[in-house]
């Protein structure tokens, strides 16, 4: 079966076969720039150490924490005498550092 194609169909098909040239340079550059911007906004989940570091203020602070932690271990192992007194474990007297009822002040 042969059919003469409708000339209009042929004309319309010409729309498709018209040379689809490359995108204009400016447009292609803008589209790719958008892609680059989207990639730049993607945040990779940080490592656990990065998150801890950022939370405490960076690695110098982390070093200080380590030092304080080590000092705490030392104090626990070999506490100075004053510390023992505060804990009521030594020979020193207990001191009420809060001064009685000073904490609770009623509004009058």
b/e per residue, 34-59, with b = 16+ CB within 10 A? eeeeeeeeeeeeeeeeeeebeeeeee
Minimum distance from residue 45 beta carbon to another protein (Å): 13
DSSP conformational letter for 4: P
How many residues sit in the footprint of another protein (CB under 8 A)? 27
Complex with another protein: residue 26 or 108, whichever CB lies closer: 26
Minimum distance from residue 11 beta carbon to another protein (Å): 5
Q: According to the binding rule CB under 8 A, does residue 8 interact with another protein?
A: yes
Q: According to the binding rule CB under 8 A, does residue 18 interact with another protein?
A: yes
Residue 79: exposed, middle, or buried by beta-carbon count in 10 A (0-12, 13-18, 19+)?
A: middle
Q: According to the binding rule CB under 8 A, does residue 45 interact with another protein?
A: no
Using CB under 8 A, pick the residue from 2, 3, 42, 47 that binds another protein. Answer: 42
């Amino acid at each position: 079966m042969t059919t003469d194609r409708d000339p209009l169909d042929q004309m319309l098909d010409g729309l498709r076969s018209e040379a689809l040239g490359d995108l204009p340079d400016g447009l292609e550059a803008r589209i790719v720039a958008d892609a680059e911007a989207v990639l730049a906004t993607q945040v990779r989940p940080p490592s656990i150490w990065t998150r801890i570091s950022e939370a405490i203020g960076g690695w110098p602070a982390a070093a200080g924490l380590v030092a304080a932690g080590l000092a705490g271990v030392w104090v626990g192992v070999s506490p100075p005498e004053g510390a023992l007194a505060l804990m009521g474990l030594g020979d020193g007297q207990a001191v009420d550092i809060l001064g009685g009822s000073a904490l609770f002040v009623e509004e009058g």
